[in-house]
Structure 1
Amino acid sequence: MKAAGRSVRTRLRDRVAASDPGLLRLMAGLRTVGAIALALLVLRLFGADVTHLVAGAMVAMVATFAIREKQRGAQAVTLALGLPVALASVTLSTLLSTRVVVGDAFFVVLIFCAVYGRRFGDRGTTLGLIGFQVYFVSLFVGAEPAQLPSLYGTVVLAFACSATVRFGVVATTSAGVLQRLRQAFRARLAQLIAAQIALLEAGPEDVDKVLESMREGTARLHETALMIQSRLEEGTPDQSTARLVQRRIADAEIAAERLGLLLLTARSAERADTLTLHLPGAVTPLVDHAPAQDEAMAKLRRDLRALQALVLRPPAEARGTALAHLRNRLLGYRDEENLPRAGAALQDVFRGIGEAARAVMGLRIALDGPQDESDDSPATARSREELDAEDAAIDAGEERAAEEEPTGLRRPTTRAAVQVAVGSSLAIVGGEFLSSQRWYWAVLTCWIVFLNTASTGEILVKGYRRVLGTVLGVVAGIVLAGLVGDHTWTAFALVLLFVFAMFYTAPLSYTLMSFFVTAMLGLLYTVLQTYSLSVLVLRVEETALGAACGIFAAALVLPVRTDRRTNELLGTVLERLVDVTEGAVDQLSGGPAADLLDTARELDQALGDLRAATQPLTHPITPMRARRDAAQYVVALLETCAYHARSLAATAELLPTHPSIAADPRLRGAVARTVRNIEAIAARVADEHAAVEVETGPSIASLLEQRADGMPRYGRITGRVLRHLERLDEAVVGLARPLDVPVAAPGR
């Protein structure tokens, strides 16, 4: 019974970890709600009135969510610096509230400075955010100069409550967050393997649905890998450990994606394309037969479930011989003599299981420390020796030189500050016409639509989502205000619930977050006894006005067109793709060792930035369907290229420590055409008039020189490298059509 209870708790923990990697959303919601609740409790004990209760709750929320640093020491310093900024902001807001022109002019200057402060990193961003939001809070509660002494006490108390909850009640450490992210990676890896098992058992009519699940699982696994990479420096004791974890995470991700591709090929009438695992709605490979029921397929089902158990089983439950038996059997498939009798495609799947088991064992060693070696089989011992040799070869690498940043109005933060200042000025003027009391809602919306956006298209989409969430929130606010009535503490309880929902859903849906914000504000108006239907309707009008002003400023004042932004990021992705591909092939050809881990990470980061920037083009409401499909196709092709480049880099990293992998100088010539094609596409993206074209010709494998002694031209490892190069070459040529790059016919 105890074992069964642990199993249920483990499965529940894995599901929670997979749905919220690192529990980052849960912790953000609990931390903010805890700070607000503590501030309300203390203020109530001091006999504060409703105005100070609302001000204290909102300042506590701002002081909590504004902090961006990951290290506790840096968070404490920023919170301490934020207090005098908040006090100065509430002072100026209160004193200037009766001087309309001067107050509005100062508000615009404050907005400019708050946005410009982003150039100074997380701390500058936080202090600017605190200054703006506290100024807004003072306007919201209608603070008067006579209330300043008590407001000072409220602000100080709110910051103290925020610090108490952050560093005491809901305390987190970088190492703890990284540990939870590791658990999330394991859980999502197990979910991807479960989807692969479903693919193995799916009939022809179910393949589309299963493939969609595999695409989602692959994307979620990659998302978690990137989150881990962003936390490694703060969450690990030294650079060597960080690089080891990064390497093992990358190995496991590549092995899982390759296993899915091999399974898809085994179920298909022909070799599957990697693009199928990245492009939503891609054509499903022909699957015209029901799953086989022979002995080899039975073994495959059994071993995939064993691989899933190997991933999920925590160290505390890994004692005994059962898990060792599973591990030994799976790692045995790395030896040809242990492969079951089956077709070539099915044998490739068993080889993929063996490589995935090796990656999982490396991951367990990196995350959980040394494992019990008493029950190792020869295949397991050999795999462990390989991993130990790789671990010893990992070093810190060299630091890259910092890239030169643009200056003046070309600097993104300066441009955004000017745009927000212009948009806010328009919002103030228009908001005053709508309401001399609630004009600041338009300014708030204009400010918010510029947060974390970098192009006109992103601002347009964010403004649309803001307005939609606000309209829905107004409807909810009308209903809740009628239900709550004069029950102040019931309203505050619902406010806490909505605040938690707001922060828990923020990374998932901006529309949902806007809904909860507006519903919460409706309750606060009820508490302040300023609620009316006209106030909530005015909220929608001011929100729409603010969004329109923000979009107008973004489109006409120093605009960054979505095309320009995506082209810049696309050029960066192509540049990083060349770096990874050339570095890996050069090392596989016998060249010196390169820092491929960091190069591959930069490729992933650049691709993530591009994926985010194309969201306005791929949004469901976009009327340009052909452009949307082209953007999705380009991103999917680039994800395919990145997968093959990462696989080449992972294989190259094995070269110094694996006697079975030998350098092949012929590979250097095989990749030359692919690199030229990538550079040609990058040149065309940078200059649409560039006279370049993409070359096609014989397959990559045929470019290798024939051997005169009658032996095979290349071994199995070189064959795998060639397959990656071939698929990379095909994907690069595929990029030419949607990007309008001419393709030269073979032989020209």
Structure 2
Amino acid sequence: MASAQRTAKGVWDRFSASDPGLLRLMAGLRTVGAILLALAVLALIGTPVTQLVAGAIAAMVATFAIQEKEVRGQAVTLALGLPVALAAIALGALLNSRVIAGDLFFVLLIFAAVYSRRFGDRGTALGLIGFQIYFVSLFVSAPVSAIPGLWLTLTVAFACSAFVRFAVVPETPERTLRRLREAFRARLAQLVAHQIDLLEADADDVDKVLDDLRRSTARLHEAALMIQGRLAEGTRDASAAALLQRRVADAEIAAERLGVLLLNARSAERVDTLTLHLPQSAAPLPPRARLADDAGSALRRDLRALHLLVVRLVPDDRGTALPYVRNRLLGYREEQGLPQGSPAIQDCFRAVGEAARAILGLRLAVDGARDEEYDSPEAARSREEFEAEEISIAGEAADADEEEPAGLRRPTTRAAVQVAVGSALAIVGGEFLSTQRWYWAVLTCWVVFLNTASTGEILVKGYRRLLGTVLGVVAGVALAGAVGNHTWLAFALVLLCVFGMFFTAPLSYALMSFFVTAMLGLLYTLLNTYSLDVLVLRVEETALGAACGIIAAVLILPVRTSHRTDEELGTVLARLRDVVSAAVAQLSGGPPVDLVDLARDLDTALDGLRSSTKPLTHPIAPLRARRQTARYVMALLETCAYHARSLAATAELVPSSKSVAADARLAIAGQRITHNIDLIAAHVRAEETTGAIESGASIASMLDSGRHEVLRTGSVAFRVLRHLQRLDEGIVGLARPLGVPLEKRAEHRP
């Protein structure tokens, strides 16, 4: 029985890790449930098949268009969406026979729908509902006489969507955050498991295990970012949000640091953190043989114990064994019971102790971990440190208002103009291909502009949509032939396609387009308009719409991918400088600041840069050298961000910890690093600069005041210096691919 429970928990952990917060699963279930309920209600009142199709699509739109996190906001937007939908379906029916007037109104509607994105989630949802419902009227060729019936159909569809959203598959910010925490725990367990594999792998398997380690590290960071995005709505107040954010960041940093040190212990030379962020980079050669001495065996045992602590990191998991295991691992922080071994091995044990402390902090933040009676002195001291940190957490800092571009420089206005022009081209071209189904070209043009900000992103998205459409046509032919005249079987397959569409949308746009096109083949079968020519026309209209979108993006107010990435890169550098300067200032004895929010802003900016560089790193990108450079720059920035987050986490301990003391000499190191970041940022902004990147003497040698103090390897001061040194090297390394001049220095110390 216990074995079966462990197996079931392991399977659930893998699924939870693959779908953080179960967001994709809930989106699919909610949409399918709304469609199913709408079809059942409409069938009971004798609705014809054409209106059944319209009701199914309306229920789908009413469900997926609402993206607000607060339940009250969702209800308000859904209530406002119904009159928008009623007006759109009526105008679509009235203008269906008036070609020129209908086309002009469609273009204006598209402009308004895209422009409304500037008003946040509600504006985006209402614009999407208006566009999609108008499209439904074109799809079912709604006549004026059918308007009353269609109004009833839409009302039922929206009511069913509301019932499923708020009663059948309810979703609250607190529940979503709780599931995201569970996904973070599951991904943390996977990362520790891959770290164990790294320690046990043969020399020939190190590179493969390193790929798994790199992937699981990135997935853990992704889960941490998702938690950050839900903290404001999912916690009771700003203090609770800041506390949870800090504990999640501590766990992420401790796990990543442990991976670097384990890789260093397996390698014959010192490992740079860049190895964990640069895709397909090989481990430093030659790797050492599998650690087989007593220290290696003890390290493998303690990693398994750490994995157990993570797996059992749930509120209902009580017992005396876990606290004793935790207490033993925490002792490594204080050098207690530290096994004999090389300095690299001992660093790993210390990192295990820090990871155990981070897990304890995460459990305290989540459920209080009421097992103090089993605490060792080290565990009690860790609890006291956490309590002191919790008291020192200040109120939420006010966000600085950034000046928003105006006029055509505003992203929503520019995108609205581009989509309107592209749609006008798609309407003209689509009419030449088909006077009845020209709207597919318009839909494609509309979709390729959603969630894109540069020409390169639009090009990649158009390519993916065309690929998914071609594959979906093949599936649509097969499904339509299998369904025949079985109406309800066709609806059942439509529901499967809808679920697949929403479950795969965040993972693969091509896969989502595949399910959309397969679903359309089934809908055409229901409308008795299916033929192979229709699906081939769908491919042609899709290619035309993608081409029109790309033409509009290139010729009308274009935003080049390089310009977009430069803007995002400048933002990342500014956020990196903020974190480093504030952390160094606090480590140097300056006043405490909210470093958690600064680190969060850095992660958000880095995520934006990562999205903007996807067109450059995509396999279809023609410039291979540019693709490699983009990957290298991203890896360097992620490495620098890791060390900056680590500095910030250490600096946060200064006001409340007895073991971490400020050192005024660190300000010297911070000056060189921030100077180099400023020069690179100015170069990215194409500003005139006269200086050069400073390099040369190591950070440790810069801080030597003549006392020749020997820093203990596991001390906090040593760790701070190591992060500063790696950060300094990363910034200097970043200057080379970006073409920033380097200052020549004769002296260089390792």
TM-score by length of structure 2 reads 0.98
Residue 624 of structure 1: aligned partner? 623
Distance between the aligned counterparts of 1:619 and 1:474, measured in 2?
25
User: CA deviation digits over 1:478-508, x for unaligned, max 9?
Assistant: 1111111111111100000000000000000
Residue 251 of structure 1: aligned partner? 250
Distance between the aligned counterparts of 1:636 and 1:85, measured in 2?
46
User: CA deviation digits over 1:693-738, x for unaligned, max 9?
Assistant: 2121100110013244x64368921111110010001011111111
Residue 710 of structure 2: aligned partner? 712
Residue 260 of structure 2: aligned partner? 261
Residue 725 of structure 1: aligned partner? 724
Amino acid at match of 2:37: L
Distance between the aligned counterparts of 2:571 and 2:4, measured in 1?
50
User: CA deviation digits over 1:232-266, x for unaligned, max 9?
Assistant: 01000111100000000000000000000000010
User: CA deviation digits over 1:551-608, x for unaligned, max 9?
Assistant: 0000000000000000000000000000000000000000000111101000000000
Distance between the aligned counterparts of 1:16 and 1:487, measured in 2?
34
User: CA deviation digits over 1:268-291, x for unaligned, max 9?
Assistant: 112110000000011321244321
Distance between the aligned counterparts of 2:506 and 2:692, measured in 1?
41
| Greater Cα offset, 388-397 or 694-703 | 388-397
Distance between the aligned counterparts of 2:563 and 2:663, measured in 1?
41
> What SS is found at the alignment partner of 1:738?
helix
8 A Cα contact 1:476 1:519, kept in partner: yes
Question: Is structure 2 residue 419 aligned with structure 1 residue 427?
Answer: no
Question: Is structure 2 residue 440 aligned with structure 1 residue 445?
Answer: no
Distance between the aligned counterparts of 1:516 and 1:559, measured in 2?
31
| Greater Cα offset, 240-249 or 337-346 | 337-346
Question: Is structure 2 residue 341 aligned with structure 1 residue 336?
Answer: no
Q: How does 1:149-164 map to 2 (within 5 A)?
A: 149-164=148-163
Structural RMSD (CA): 1.2
Question: Is structure 2 residue 355 aligned with structure 1 residue 384?
Answer: no
8 A Cα contact 2:323 2:374, kept in partner: yes
1:24 Cα offset (Å)? 0.1
Q: How does 1:47-58 map to 2 (within 5 A)?
A: 47-58=46-57
Q: How does 1:85-164 map to 2 (within 5 A)?
A: 85-164=84-163
Unaligned runs of 5+ in 2: none
Distance between the aligned counterparts of 2:624 and 2:370, measured in 1?
53
Distance between the aligned counterparts of 1:57 and 1:454, measured in 2?
31
Distance between the aligned counterparts of 1:633 and 1:370, measured in 2?
42
Distance between the aligned counterparts of 1:535 and 1:320, measured in 2?
64
Amino acid at match of 1:664: D
User: CA deviation digits over 1:509-541, x for unaligned, max 9?
Assistant: 000000000000000000100000110000000
Amino acid at match of 1:230: G
Residue 436 of structure 1: aligned partner? 435
Distance between the aligned counterparts of 1:88 and 1:375, measured in 2?
66
8 A Cα contact 1:267 1:287, kept in partner: no
Distance between the aligned counterparts of 1:62 and 1:575, measured in 2?
39
Amino acid at match of 2:300: R
Residue 703 of structure 1: aligned partner? 702
Distance between the aligned counterparts of 1:533 and 1:612, measured in 2?
37
1:41 Cα offset (Å)? 0.5
| Greater Cα offset, 337-346 or 611-620 | 337-346
Distance between the aligned counterparts of 1:412 and 1:286, measured in 2?
47
Residue 39 of structure 2: aligned partner? 40
Amino acid at match of 2:710: P
Residue 668 of structure 1: aligned partner? 667
> What SS is found at the alignment partner of 2:391?
helix
1:688 Cα offset (Å)? 6.7
Q: Percent identity, please.
A: 68
8 A Cα contact 2:238 2:396, kept in partner: no
1:660 Cα offset (Å)? 1.2
Distance between the aligned counterparts of 1:237 and 1:317, measured in 2?
22
1:335 Cα offset (Å)? 1.4
> What SS is found at the alignment partner of 2:373?
coil
> What SS is found at the alignment partner of 2:427?
helix
1:317 Cα offset (Å)? 5.2
User: CA deviation digits over 1:200-223, x for unaligned, max 9?
Assistant: 011111011111001100100000
8 A Cα contact 1:506 1:513, kept in partner: yes
8 A Cα contact 2:188 2:220, kept in partner: yes
> What SS is found at the alignment partner of 1:671?
helix
Amino acid at match of 1:274: T
Q: Structure 1 residues 270 and 161, CA, compared in 2 at 3 Å: closer, same or farther? A: same
Q: Structure 1 residues 537 and 198, CA, compared in 2 at 3 Å: closer, same or farther? A: same
How many residue pairs match? The answer is 746
Residue 455 of structure 1: aligned partner? 454
Distance between the aligned counterparts of 1:589 and 1:80, measured in 2?
55
Q: Structure 1 residues 265 and 314, CA, compared in 2 at 3 Å: closer, same or farther? A: closer
8 A Cα contact 1:279 1:633, kept in partner: yes
Distance between the aligned counterparts of 2:479 and 2:259, measured in 1?
48
1:5 Cα offset (Å)? 3.6
Residue 68 of structure 1: aligned partner? 67
1:672 Cα offset (Å)? 1.1
Distance between the aligned counterparts of 1:333 and 1:61, measured in 2?
55
| Greater Cα offset, 34-43 or 8-17 | 8-17
Distance between the aligned counterparts of 1:116 and 1:590, measured in 2?
48
Residue 579 of structure 2: aligned partner? 580
Distance between the aligned counterparts of 1:175 and 1:317, measured in 2?
18
Amino acid at match of 2:430: G
Distance between the aligned counterparts of 2:468 and 2:678, measured in 1?
43
Residue 402 of structure 2: aligned partner? 403
User: CA deviation digits over 1:629-660, x for unaligned, max 9?
Assistant: 00000000000000000000000000011111
Residue 594 of structure 1: aligned partner? 593
> What SS is found at the alignment partner of 1:338?
coil
1:412 Cα offset (Å)? 0.2
Q: Structure 1 residues 460 and 688, CA, compared in 2 at 3 Å: closer, same or farther? A: farther
8 A Cα contact 1:331 1:358, kept in partner: yes
> What SS is found at the alignment partner of 2:644?
helix
> What SS is found at the alignment partner of 1:306?
helix
User: CA deviation digits over 1:10-40, x for unaligned, max 9?
Assistant: 2222111101000000000000000000011
User: CA deviation digits over 1:373-404, x for unaligned, max 9?
Assistant: 11111111111111111111112142122111
Unaligned runs of 5+ in 1: none
1:54 Cα offset (Å)? 0.2
Q: How does 1:527-566 map to 2 (within 5 A)?
A: 527-566=526-565
Question: Is structure 2 residue 486 aligned with structure 1 residue 487?
Answer: yes
TM-score by length of structure 1 reads 0.98
Amino acid at match of 1:177: T
| Greater Cα offset, 26-35 or 679-688 | 679-688
Distance between the aligned counterparts of 2:288 and 2:704, measured in 1?
39
User: CA deviation digits over 1:266-322, x for unaligned, max 9?
Assistant: 001121100000000113212443212221111111110110110111445532211
Q: Which runs of 4+ in 1 moved over 6 A?
A: none
